[in-house]
Structure 1
Amino acid sequence: MKFSLSEKSAIITGGASGIGKAISKTFAQQGATVHILDFNEDNGREAVKELEANNHKAFFYLCDISNTAETEKIFDSIAEKGPIDILINNAGIAHVGNIENTSESDLDKLYAVNIKGVYNCIKPALKSMKTTGGVILNLASIASSVGISDRFAYSMTKGAVLTMTYSIAKDYLDYNIRCNCISPARVHTPFVDNFISKNYPGEEKETFEKLSKTQPIGRMGKPAEIADLALFLCSDEAGFITGSNYAIDGGFVTLNG
């Protein structure tokens, strides 16, 4: 079977909702044992319950990836059960604002999760992958490569995710470790719905349609579409791909203008 992840062990951060949950589901369907790390315990346990109901192997770990010691302990416990074959760095937080209305605490929070959190996951994963090889896939954003209004701190952190991808790919070629990056545009997730309802009360439908049309293709992406690209990049069929960034954006980067 093409794109099989049979007998593979995959860690997915933020794997209990949105894009992360879609990746967890897709990877489990393709035979992987899925290890979901998430800060929301209810979502995490529900995600595992759903996967187990379909006879998939899944485990949940309550984790704040900005906490170095906590994250390392969880990765070490997973590695004790067998090799870590795949790491998906999906967890992240957003922020709206330019540099003048981005507070120091805002900046520190985004750095802690979006940059340090990725560092905290890659470093312990490498201890296992250096022995057996593996795949690391980072979720960045179109904001890592093009200018987007009022996304100063978010763009900065996602730019760091992109350049970390290149660095890891280069440094670990000799260990049979591939590292790539996905850069989505807007994807319709519960986060988007909550953002719209919080910031545009009474204008939810109009705002959703407006945001959807910022993608030249005329709609937001679906979490399952991101998951399918992630599956390809983490499968053996993508064995010749490393150090690459894939925009999945309905044409946002190249067709706007």
Structure 2
Amino acid sequence: MTSQDHIVLAADGLSKRFGGNTVVDRLSISFANGRLHSILGPNGAGKTTLFNLLTKDISPDGGTIRLDGSDVTRLSPDRIARRGVARSYQISSVYLDMSVRDNVWVSAYRARGGNPLVFWRKADGYAEARALADACLERLDLTRFANAATKELSYGDQRLLEIAVTLAAEPRIILLDEPTAGLSRKETERVKHVIATLKGVFSIIMIEHNMSVVMDISDKITVMNRGIVLAQGGPDDIRGNKSVQEAYFGS
């Protein structure tokens, strides 16, 4: 077994109900080390609920979640994060009135064991957190914006900043929730390129509606529909799957 065959995160028989509505239905899925695994599906398929279950933002009604083979189903979200799982959100979660560097510094400071309630420190303090924040900005080509207010960035650069904030948490596994949503074609290409450079270094799980992005950079794709796995495979497998075309494209 190679390092990329190692399963870093897996769910077995995962279920979640809201009232009488079953949103995730006995779903089993696994994610391999260093791979980019995309989750596709129409609205209401259960994709974001799956993310929330994997990060323990919500608790499952059934099934198990394993991280590196260990059962983490009952762990809290902060303990999951400390084990190297981090995510970005579909709705921007950066602080618009803070500088670009300060946004990343807060995440880096927490990752290095700082008090999560401390927001008034200056990013020129705590040298290790500052160095980590600056490295994340450089990696995503945001250094030139370091001292700018986040609200001054283009929407595409704000999405890259969200990824930088996620990387500053020093994760092994990154969950990206629609990273190109609302972006122009040029911004989408830039974000896609950045995500592609993270493959292999991190294990990436991505919800994304832009089919060209998914097909261009995914190693594996899982298509969900009504809370279950409809299809799974590489881009070529999914592209030619008739059940996927019917569920996702309505044809």
Question: TM-score range, shorter-chain basis?
Answer: 0.3 to 0.5
1 or 2, which has the higher strand percentage? 2
TM-score by length of 2: 0.34
TM-score by length of 1: 0.34
